Structure 1
Amino acid sequence: MYASRVLEFGPPSALRWSAAPDPVAGPGAVVVEVVAAGVNRADALFRAGRYHRGPQLPATPGLEAAGRIVAVGAGVTDLQVGRRVVAWGAIGDPGFYAERAEVPAERVLPVPDEVELIGAAAVPVAWLTAWYSLHRLGGVRPGDVVLVHAGASGVGSAAVQIAKDAGARVIATAGGEEKVKWVHDLGADVVLDHTAADVPAEVLAHSDGRGANVVLDLVGGETFAGSLRAAARAANVVALANVALAPSVIDTRDFYPKNVHIHGFQFTDLMEHGYDPRPDLAEVLAGLAQRRFAVPVDSTFPLADAASAHARLESRAVLGKVLLTGPTG
């Protein structure tokens, strides 16, 4: 088979469509034919040699995919050949920028018939991240004010919908007029252009001076300091990433007098320490099947052209999710 692999760290062109070993379904595992694979910031950071973890090279990126089971290993009784599924893992384990992948059965979940595989491929990273951060860490409740940074991103666009579904008032940030309008059309109550607005001051102004009960910080760097200033008393602030690739200088007086709770979220670390995402993923898939949620797809590229997908992701023009599609996608 073939896969888009990182042979050496570098720009998007470092991804090469090259031959890779054919996967075999070992005991307790299945082989999934990839219909679509998600493209995530972690993949791009790994390819550039700037990610905080990852396998030795050569390696195949790709944390998530959706497709059909083409082989079942010994001991797997609840999954069958031909089943439509979503699958997840780590970079290089197995890596879903490939035509097929061997996946442990516990990292596979059937996809409802009402959900397209293209959209399902975006669920294990962006949508699970948003769901877990809002419900399990943020404790979002009806009537809460939720601040979502980077509302036009894959995680941000999911978080806007999930927070609205939970009955929250959503304040989101985006960069530029086009993104601001797009996020507003997605359902956010207020969208702030972070290139022009004083975000913490605007959040206070739009919450009667109280601040946000839940803050999802997908940016890091200087933005995180603002997230703490925008937080309400006893708020939950969730740090999900540092795409700014910069340190955060904070003033402890911005959070400890308000009894603010600061949480970190990292998907792979959670799984390595026993988290089973299947119940949460099933909730998200049910929301998609019931049309409460919709995955906004920015663009799709063939698996063989992962380099262009990475270039698109890094262009900062993305609205929603970037995906790779296989021959049957």
Structure 2
Amino acid sequence: MRAWQITRLGQPEDALELVESPDRAPAAGEVAVRVAAAALGFPDLLLCRGEYHDKPELPFTIGGEAAGTVVEVGPDVDGVDVGDRVIVTAGETVGGALADRLVVPVDRILPAPDGMPLEQAAAFFVAYQTSYMALLRRAGLRSGETVLVHGASGGIGSAAVQLGKAVGARVIAVAGGRAKTEVCRGLGADEVVDHREEDFVAAVKNLTDGRGADVIYDSVGGDVFDRSRRCIAVEGRLLVVGFAGGTIPQFAVNHALLKNYSVVGFRTRPFRDDPVYVREVHDALCEFHSRGLVSPLVDTVDFDGVPKAVRRLGERTVVGRVVVQIPDS
């Protein structure tokens, strides 16, 4: 097995090392998966630097999700066969997913959506489960409402745009630069705001006749959060999804009182412990895919180019999710 591991903390080119180790056979309740592709995310960059809230013991493999084909099934496994196309969801029982072969508990795999290439399936779990649970469960987004999506050309942002449209909401996408705003239009956003060219607060107020957005999907934090409070509708929901901008905001709660809006925190970890709900969400997302409503936006890179790809995550040059294509060794 070959895997990209963080062996020391630092910048990606210094921290990451391609490590080889012997393959092992799956034990009871496990399956072995030949990995075709694995997805990277901003947390992988933070893990390299030692800046993520989780601090795994060195060395450890990066990558939060992967997709591939089952090549071996251990004892006491039902409902999974050799040759099945699956998504691997990394976690404490798996470690990272950026390896050419993984042996995982059977409860850490999900069926890949029918007809979806494995390069896209590798980017399906984290982004779409995150956006589905945040928008539909935590924020209660409804058909006819307006949702504002920050970082709309990124991995979870692009998923949020597609899911907003899938449930019948009006989607206002915010991104930086012509190339990224064109991507947002291609995703189906009703309105697109280039934050490099105009103030998104004024744009949202203008597009909503002064009412503001019912739901704001904020994975950036910092000043973006602060300014978003100025264009949220009465009884709106401001979703705190992450802090990709690097700054954790604070705010005076009297502003929420005056405008009757909610600040809604969201993290997927509590939901990941409920496999029944995770599978329910997965099945709903697969149905959206079968109807042509969602399709992961991926930026593929070669297996040897992982350190450079992780560095790019911090340079804000990535569109969609970075997916590493893994050759058969």
Please give the TM-score of this superposition, normalised by the length of structure 1. 0.93
Q: How far off is 1:21 after superposition?
A: 4.6
Q: Residue 91 and residue 303 in structure 1: after superposition, are their counterparts in 2 closer, same or farther (change >3 A)?
A: farther
The residue number in structure 1 matching 2:109 is 108
In the alignment, which residue of structure 1 is the partner of 2:118?
Answer: 117
Q: Is the 8 A contact 2:220 2:242 kept in 1?
A: yes
Cα distance in 2 between the residues matched to 1:25 and 1:318:
36
- Structure 1 window deviating more from structure 2 (57-66 vs 89-98): it is 89-98
Going from structure 1 to structure 2, the CA distance change for 1:276 and 1:24 (only over 3 Å counts) comes to: farther
Decide whether aligned partners of structure 1 residues 23 and 286 sit closer, same or farther in structure 2, where only a CA change above 3 A counts. farther
Structure 1 alignment gaps of length 5 or more: none
Match of 1:322 in 2: 322
Amino acid across the alignment from 2:69: R
Residue matched to 2:168? 167
Equivalent residues of 2:146, 2:213 under 8 A apart = yes
Residue 182 of structure 1 and its aligned partner are, at CA, apart by 2.0
Give, in angstroms, the shift of residue 272 of structure 1: 4.2
Change (3 A) 1:101 1:194: same
Q: Deviation per CA, 1:168-213, whole angstroms, max 9, x where unpaired? A: 1111111122212221232111111223432223212211211111
- Matched residues in 1 for 2:314 and 2:216: separation? 24
- Percentage identity across aligned positions? 37
C-alpha separation between the residues in 2 aligned to 1:230 and 1:252?
Answer: 16
Alignment of 1:1-329 (within 5 A): 1-13=1-13, 14-90=15-91, 93-272=94-273, 276-298=277-299, 300-328=300-328
The aligned amino acid for 2:244 is V
Distance 1:253 1:108 in 2: 45
- Distance in 2 (CA, whole Å) between partners of 1:265 and 1:21 is 39
Q: Following TM superposition, by how much is the alpha carbon of 1:276 offset from its aligned partner in structure 2, in angstroms? A: 4.0
Change in CA separation of 1:103 and 1:24 when aligned onto 2, cut-off 3 Å? same
Q: How much does 1:115 deviate? A: 1.4
Work out whether residues 113 and 121 of structure 2, in 8 Å CA contact, stay in contact via their aligned partners in 1. no
- Count of residues paired in the alignment: 328
Q: Is the 8 A contact 2:34 2:102 kept in 1?
A: yes
| Deviation at residue 268 of structure 1 after TM alignment | 3.0
| Aligned mates of 2:172, 2:154 — CA distance in 1 | 15
3-state DSSP of counterpart to 2:61 = coil
Equivalents in 1 of 2:191, 2:250: separation in Å? Answer: 27
Native 8 Å contact 2:145 2:214 kept in 1 = yes
CA-CA distance at 1:23 after TM superposition: 4.1
CA distance in 2 between partners of 1:227 and 1:221 (Å): 10
Residue 126 of structure 1: SS of its match in structure 2? helix
State the 1:326 CA deviation.
1.3
